[in-house]
Amino acid sequence: MFDKNFFKENLKTLFYALIIAIIIRSLFIQPFYIPSSSMEPNLLVGDRLFVTKYSYGYSRHSFPFSPPIFKGRVLFNEPKRGDVVVFKTPADNRTDYIKRLIGLPGDQIQFIDENLYINNSEIIKSRLSNNDKIFCGSNNINVLTFEEVLPNNKRYKTVYLKSNTFKNSDKFEVPEDHYFFLGDNRDCSKDSRFLTSVGYVHKNNLVGKAQFIFFSSDKSVGRIFSFWKWNKSIRFDRFFKKIN
């Protein structure tokens, strides 16, 4: 005999669980997957990470499907230079990107002879390696690895192609309430240098701050269901790694 009460109670449980999941995802923390190599060597394709939604306050993009429930940003906290940030691309206000925040409102950003300048001051970078290999899409490329130090003393690794690297640019002037982002994989990143596709990112498009990796796997070795390859495909050394 069909038990209507049993069916009803299970539906209610599922509904409440869904509401709780949406609240947690919207207000506190959300998992994200890294699909591209634009943030290598710091983030790899296959990394799964947690992003805190409360770090910069809330906008409509904090919620699933970006509903127009309110305008602007509430409880806003200014992001810091060097933060790794998830944001909605200005081109469609829908696609999630993850990049490093380099330029704050009012900053001037420019590349001169392969070197990054912020407000006419060269960002110091120290070479760590002359012969590293990383991915750019499906290609394995030779790069030089550096440590860059931003004006607020934020340090992180970044890589440049050995040849045909991004050498010079126009001067980018970051508008009010906007930010300028770069990928750490400098010659394999679509970021704020490309004004028609990404460009300057308004503060309302910020989704949250990337905090740590909770799982990572290399699909080129084997899919997650291929348990006999887990010793090679799962990157255990990246579990719970803090994102710098």
Instruction: Note if 241 is an active site residue.
Output: no
For residue 110, give Cα distances in angstroms to 18, 120, 128, 170: 46, 8, 23, 6
Catalytic residue from among 36, 62, 88, 99: 99
Catalytic residue from among 36, 37, 38, 62: 38
Strand ranges (DSSP E) for 104-190? 108-112, 115-118, 121-122, 124-136, 139-149, 155-161, 172-173, 178-182
Close Cβ partners of 108 (under 8 Å, ≥ 6 residues apart): 117, 118, 119, 120, 171, 172, 173, 174
Instruction: Note if 99 is an active site residue.
Output: yes
For residue 186, give Cα distances in angstroms to 12, 136, 215: 49, 10, 25
Known catalytic residues are 38, 99
